Amino acid sequence: MKNIEYNIKTFENIKHIDKNGKEFWYARELMLALEYTKWSNFNLIINKAKNACISSDLAVIDHFADVGKMVEIGSGAKRKQKDYRLSRYACYLIAQNGDSRKESIALAQTYFAIQTRKQELNEKEYSELSEDEKRFYQRNLTRKGNYSLNKAAKKVGVKNFDKFHNSGYKGLYNGETADDIAKRKGLRYREDILDNMGSVELGANIFRITQTESLLNKQVENSEKVAINTHYKVGKAVRKTIKELGGIMPEDLPTPDKSLKELEKEQKNNLLEKL
């Protein structure tokens, strides 16, 4: 089992994030992770994956972007080396068209099947989702939102990000820091509090995150103190809105029986059993 976990982490470790917070993988790096040594052989798999993409009525360029670059081949000479910037869906199609007898391919199928399933949730009517599916959906939004929020905070001079994020939690949770929330929920050391929230609680945090980012992007003064105060005020304003609407305060909302990490692990194990 240790080996399986390591290989699944391998695919996570070669994931890249662009300036818009979008995930992607390079074909050359994926090739090595899938234990292919020759580009010509791996390119055959890529072409099969492209055909599968076309069969799904999707634009190949949206999932297999050509990012070839010039590389030196000796004596100062250069040639273009073919490479692709792959979406999660492209990686999934490549894994599906690889040699499933290889352990690395089977593990890639497991990893990217889970990732693609999460992506599908974004395209499904929210009202049709189960509570756990809503949690995965909302958690993905908080992850992307915090990525953008951190960029906005850095631009206005924030360096102490723990203090900055805690100011938002304090406003929303009536003075509680992230550690206070974790203790109240009975979480283990360093366990993510956002992974242990229901969809309603995550929704309140998404509102806090997005509104703070919007205000920071308008902030003229380059001041960490102002940014921290802004985050606190937004958190407090969201709390006030919940109260005025007759909603349940965030700290009074129930903590789900299972964290999203636990649910994700169950999904992986179920897929591994099927494989």
| CA-wise closest residue to 173 among 185, 186, 159 | 185
pLDDT for the residue 4? 42
Q: How far apart are CA 103 and CA 182, in angstroms?
A: 38
Q: How far apart are CA 240 and CA 172, in angstroms?
A: 9
* Range ranked top by mean pLDDT from 128-132, 193-197, 219-223, 268-272: 193-197
Work out the pLDDT band at 5, boundaries 50, 70, 90.
very low
pLDDT for the residue 115? 62
Measure the CA dihedral 220/222/225/228, to 10°.
70
DSSP readout, 188-216? PTT--SGGG--HHHHHHHHHHHHHHHHHH
pLDDT for the residue 73? 65
What is the per-residue pLDDT across 125-170, written as a single tens digit (0 to 9) for each? Answer: 666 788 998 898 889 889 989 999 999 999 999 999 999 999 999 9
* Range ranked top by mean pLDDT from 28-42, 96-110, 152-166, 231-245: 152-166
Q: How far apart are CA 90 and CA 119, in angstroms?
A: 12
Specify the 3-state DSSP secondary structure of 66: strand
pLDDT for the residue 255? 97
Q: How far apart are CA 251 and CA 269, in angstroms?
A: 32
Assess contact for 120 and 140: CB atoms under 8 A. Answer: no
Stronger pLDDT, 67 or 114, i.e. the higher one: 67
Q: What is the mean pLDDT of the chain?
A: 86
Q: How far apart are CA 25 and CA 15, in angstroms?
A: 5
pLDDT for the residue 76? 65
pLDDT for the residue 114? 62
What is the per-residue pLDDT across 199-255, written as a single tens digit (0 to 9) for each? Answer: 999 999 999 999 999 899 999 999 999 999 999 999 999 999 999 889 999 999 999
| CA-wise closest residue to 94 among 132, 50, 61, 54 | 50
Return the sign of the alpha-carbon dihedral for residues 109, 111, 112, 115. positive
What pTM was estimated for this model as a whole? 0.60
pLDDT for the residue 23? 87
pLDDT for the residue 117? 59
What is the per-residue pLDDT across 11-25, written as a single tens digit (0 to 9) for each? Answer: 888 999 887 778 899
**How would you classify the pairing of strands 16-17 and 64-66?**
unpaired
pLDDT for the residue 19? 78
What is the per-residue pLDDT across 52-87, written as a single tens digit (0 to 9) for each? Answer: 889 878 889 989 999 877 666 666 667 778 899 999
Backbone angles phi, psi at 176, to 5 degrees: -80, 135
